[in-house]
Amino acid sequence: MLIRSKAPLRLGLAGGGTDVSPYSDLYGGAILNATISLYAYTTIEPLDNGRIVFSSPDAGLEETCEAKEQIETDGFFVLARGVYNRVVREFTHAPLSFRITSHVDSPAGSGLGTSSTLVVSILGAFAEWLKLPLGEYDMARLAYEIERLDLNMAGGKQDQYAATFGGFNYMQFLKDDKVIVNPLRIRQRYQDELAHNLLLYYTQTSRVSAEIIRGQIDNVTAKNDRSVEAMHQLKRQAEWMKECLLRGDIDAIGKILAFGWEHKKQTAKGITNPMLDDIYNTALAAGASGGKVSGAGGGGFMFFYCPGTSRYAVEQALCNRFAGQVKRYEFTQEGLKTWTL
């Protein structure tokens, strides 16, 4: 028997960082994101030998341990280990023996929500195998708790909900720790135009998002006026982008991204650096009207809005000057999917 799952990665289009506590607890946050055709995959093969085997073919790594009710959360497969511990503790109350194989279409630290999406994919595979009673909100919330509380990894909440629900979503993070996911009914031609004009560029660098996020947390906790006001503006950006997408004002997206990028850089140190600034300015000089670093910042993917036919000039300018590469994608409508063979 094979149990499989896949969950989509996402582009954080607006409001990034306002889903992170304590900002969301104090002021409420708002995010607009969209899932794309890059995925985190998981396969579980049940075993009967009392062992657990963790495998990552793309990394060329494998770890084996004894099947116990709780296992050590260390090593390369810390996310899978964390999911296993929570599933056993909350649902099975007995050890499980299996082989789990995972793969992600984008490198860790690339800014597309890879870690959280992988947690959702792994949790989804366990839910499929064990027939766990988890709806979409339950799945996303549990994935968030595993990563942020059980494993104590710094970050926000948007990635788990994006991977679970899929599509274009305007998400609200309320002061009472509630999350409301509002799916957006964006006309297909607007989605197609956005996908055509939004150029996704991998800088061939990665970053540890937790360091940047801790800086944002510290600034909000210390009530740093400049940082908090920048977060307020990012929340406003999410509302602005939602309105433009729904009414089909797609060419306004570049200006909205540029607005958000200027404020994002004020929330914490390390969000940008001379190389990223050079890439950004090169894209704008070639015809892009705005852009940003995907995720927390510091490296990974960037994306740029290129009106008309300017994406070809922007792509050429970036490829001529830098070592990164343009990544093709489409927007997706579905979130987590699981099945059994």
For residue 35, what are the β-bridge partners?
Answer: 10
Q: For residue 169, what are the CA distances in angstroms to 240, 241, 242, 333?
A: 14, 11, 9, 10
Q: Which two tokens stand for residue 341?
A: 């063979």
Greatest Cα pair distance in the chain:
60
User: Residue 239, by phi and psi: left (phi above 0), alpha (psi -120 to 50) or beta?
Assistant: alpha
Return the closest-CA partner of residue 13 out of 240, 332, 215.
240
Annotated catalytic, 159? yes
Q: Which two tokens stand for residue 70?
A: 């709780």
Helix axes 209-221, 225-247, angle to 10 degrees: 110
How many Å apart are CA 108 and CA 125, to the nearest integer?
A: 20
3 state SS of 194 = helix
How many Å apart are CA 180 and CA 12, to the nearest integer?
A: 16
Q: Which residues lie below 8 Å from residue 75, measured CB to CB, with a gap of 6+? A: 63, 81
Phi, psi of 37, deg, nearest 5: -85, 45
Among residues 19, 74, 159, 278, which one is catalytic? 159
Q: For residue 325, what are the CA distances in angstroms to 30, 57, 202?
A: 30, 23, 5
Q: For residue 30, what are the CA distances in angstroms to 44, 160, 258, 307, 334?
A: 35, 15, 18, 26, 21
Cβ–Cβ < 8 Å for 129, 122? no
Read off the amino acid at residue 162.
Answer: A
3 state SS of 1 = coil
Classify strands 198-202 and 168-173 as parallel, antiparallel or unpaired: unpaired
> Which of the residues are catalytic?
159
